[in-house]
Amino acid sequence: MKRILLVFAVFLTAFTVNAQDSISIKKDSLSFIKSKRMSDADLAKKKEGTFITGIPDLSSDPVTGFGVGVRSNIYWNGKRDNPLFAYTPYLMKLTANAAYYTSNARELVLKLDIPYYNGTRWRFKIDFKAQQNPANLYFGLTENTLEKLHLPSDPNTTFDTYKAFDRARKTLRQGEVGEAPFVTDALSNRFRETEFMLNLKADYALGNGKWRLMAGYEIQHLSYKTFEGMEADAIDPATGNKIKAPNGFSLLQRDFDNGLISGLNGGWVSIIQNALIYDTRDFEPDPTKGAYFEIANEYSGKYIGSQFDFNKLFIQGRYYQKLPFGSRTVLAGRIGVGHIFGNNAPFFEFQDQWSPDGSINALGGKQSLRGFRANRFLARSLAFANVELRYRIAETKWGKQRFAFGVAPFFDMGTVRNDWRDLSFRDIKYSYGGGLRIAWNQSTVLFFDYGMSKEDRLFFFGIGQAF
């Protein structure tokens, strides 16, 4: 971990020295980013100079629980006479986040982002993460996860709602061979992940700047633990009273022991990343118009020092259209399709789709299907779509800080398959709901989303748009 942090510090020092150098750039040399110009309304409100946004990190997720911590950003915006001022969300941004959750999850994240470095076509990103999360969920790794919820110990009994499923898995049952005489399944769908990660990325703007080529390298160390025998919540079936009991076998451990998955022992993952990107968004943190399209790939193999062999392909498209009512009303949509190649791809690679613009947990949770728990539906292939109507209600200025308030009704849908050739509109899962958005100095967006589905009702809040 110390070596990874040292590498991050070296890159930070090198880039910070030149953060404001692009003041000398000639305007006629920036023709390749003309399509990225901000709207006149947003440009008039953009803050000059260097400033810090730091807020208590108060977040809520049904899986990781209530979180407290600090989220801070240092922005280098430059002056209005800087030729890049109207075309980039910032000259450079350094993000430092730390959080602790009631589930005992904890996380440290450092990010450096430099678009159009020193007025060139290059963009550099550096990410570091150290996290431990004992509240990860696992429901399986095939399209069978599209079926109704059931207990690992009793696959023949199903439940229509997560609430009924949760009560059933806490209900005391007789232990199997290798378990205590009586056990609970309260932690049977959970596992703990510990991760250290460093990611380096660079992309280059082509032609008029709408297309970019990206390449990157990521190294991770991962370890996992399931909770067999750990004391957990239970319900006495005779009295209905809440008690404590040893946890039974976990679903993840069962699948690993049966040879259905790999990767539970963790280890080192070395990944080469590349992507082709088309981007005409006018303001990346909160666009009012434009499109974003990418074809992204991750390759991992023993030839580059990895303990795992796989290849992940993800294709994503987003579109933003400002509508002619309200001061700032935007229709936002996204479609994503992904597939994992490799017969021995580790289970943890099924949990997210890598994107240069930010990985997407799939399928379920605050980034994809907001009416379902995270990782609710996992398989080798997936497809999903999201639609939001972002309506600005009011804006205000408090001291030197600007705040804007809006609402965002949304609709999400998606499915998973064992083979990409079987992707279709069969067994589509959907959720819907509404959200509140608070934009702070334009670049920092707070979200409060309530998602609903036939299975669950979930509330999320935190920082950043879903897409």
Domain containing residue 452: CATH number: 2.40.160.50
- What is the per-residue DSSP string for 312-377? EEEEEEEEEEEESSSSSEEEEEEEEEEEEE-TT--GGGGGEE--TT--EE-SSSTTS-TTS-TTSS
pLDDT class for 229, splitting at 50, 70, 90? very high
pLDDT of residue 15: 55
Q: Domain of 385?
A: 2-463
pLDDT class for 20, splitting at 50, 70, 90? very low
Q: Residue 207: is its pLDDT beyond 60? A: yes
pTM of the model: 0.83
φ, ψ of residue 35 to 5 degrees: the values are -70, -10
Instruction: Give the pLDDT confidence of 329-354 residue by residue, as tens digits.
Output: 999 999 999 999 988 899 999 999 99
pLDDT of residue 23: 46
Q: Residue 21: is its pLDDT beyond 90? A: no
151-155, 224-228, 309-313, 368-372: least confident range: 151-155
From 280, 303, 292, select the one nearest 334 (Cα to Cα).
292
Q: How far is CA 324 from the centre of its chain?
A: 31
pLDDT of residue 22: 43
Rounded (5°) CA angle 23-29-33: 90
pLDDT class for 1, splitting at 50, 70, 90? low
pLDDT of residue 411: 98
Q: How many domains does the chain have?
A: 1
Instruction: Give the pLDDT confidence of 24-60 residue by residue, as tens digits.
Output: 555 556 667 776 777 787 788 788 888 887 777 767 7
Percentage of residues in the chain having pLDDT higher than 70 = 92
Instruction: Give the pLDDT confidence of 362-417 residue by residue, as tens digits.
Output: 899 999 999 999 999 999 999 999 999 999 999 998 887 889 999 999 999 999 99
